[in-house]
């Protein structure tokens, strides 16, 4: 069952309706040995399959927005170092996972996708560095006529959009904050994030919650108040069946959603 409609959602137009369907391909419709994650080929495959698209963005050394998930380059390109220490031109020479695919810019990805898919743009904004990536992404979105949403884990990134670009649909990512990366944060902060106390700061239009938070009374409460919930990352039909009554959509990979 869809969560109760919220007042004011008409400002988001088609993006709000496409929030609920179709299902969303995590980093595009990629596969081992096939199209690499976060590649133009994966986005093309997702469009052909009729899916929405989730992708990750971060800034290069020369302030361009590129599509790439990891902080470091090695896993997907074999190169060493951090992505943020390289220029867009340097990154454009690297290939992904042994294919001919290269690291795309966000502008190139959106040009390829056009109006064919709803795009969920996850901003990889570190805590304490909010502003520049958000500004660059919002300027790119002004030239894109397809449905989009910005998502991410940093509540202050969402607060920036709420203040400067409120017409852009926003989805706050969260999970139980109990992995290796989260353990670098202070225990009090991790507990607050896991309890969704940062929703008040972020003021999101929807929540994108990890399967480790679903189902939960916290998520159900937000959904009952009119905040849609999207589950991530769903990797089997069985996982989706276990949470679908508590969600409005899913971000998936590894199976046909």
Residue 163 phi, psi dihedral angles, 5° rounding: -85, -40
Q: What is the DSSP letter of 83?
A: G
* Token pair for 150: 């910005």
Tell me which H or E stretch contains 158: helix 155-164
- Concerning whether 69 is annotated as a catalytic residue, the answer is yes
**Catalytic one among 26, 198, 222, 246?**
26
**Catalytic one among 64, 69, 72, 144?**
69
Three-class secondary structure of residue 88 per DSSP:
helix
Tell me which H or E stretch contains 164: helix 155-164
Give the rounded distance of the alpha carbon of 78 from its chain centre.
Answer: 24
Query: What is the spatial distance between Cα 140 and Cα 165, in angstroms, rounded to a whole number?
Result: 12
Q: What is the DSSP letter of 79?
A: -
Taking Cα atoms as reference points, which of 117, 121, 17, 127 lies closest to residue 69? Answer: 121
The catalytic residues are 26, 69
């Amino acid at each position: 069952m869809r969560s109760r409609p919220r007042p004011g959602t008409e400002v988001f137009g088609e993006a709000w309706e496409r929030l609920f369907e179709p299902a969303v391909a995590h980093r595009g419709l990629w596969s081992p040995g096939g199209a690499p994650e976060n590649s133009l080929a994966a986005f093309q495959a997702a469009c052909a399959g009729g899916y929405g698209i989730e992708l990750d963005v971060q800034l290069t050394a020369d302030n361009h927005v590129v599509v790439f998930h990891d902080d470091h380059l090695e896993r997907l390109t074999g190169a060493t170092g951090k992505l943020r220490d390289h220029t867009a031109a340097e990154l454009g020479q690297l290939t992904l996972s042994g294919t001919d695919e290269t690291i795309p810019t966000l502008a190139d990805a959106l040009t390829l996708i056009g109006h064919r898919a709803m795009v969920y743009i996850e901003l990889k904004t570190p805590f304490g560095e909010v502003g520049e990536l958000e500004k660059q992404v919002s300027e790119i979105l002004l030239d894109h006529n397809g449905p989009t949403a910005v998502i991410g884990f940093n509540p202050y990134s969402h607060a920036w959009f709420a203040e400067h670009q409120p017409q852009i649909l926003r989805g706050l990512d969260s999970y139980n904050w109990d992995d290796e990366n989260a353990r670098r944060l202070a225990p009090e902060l991790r507990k607050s994030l896991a309890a969704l106390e940062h929703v008040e700061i972020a003021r999101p239009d929807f929540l994108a919650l990890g399967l480790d938070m679903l189902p939960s009374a916290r998520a159900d409460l937000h959904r009952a108040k009119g905040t849609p919930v999207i589950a991530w990352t769903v990797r089997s039909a069985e996982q989706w069946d276990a949470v679908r009554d508590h969600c409005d959509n899913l971000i998936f990979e590894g199976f046909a959603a």
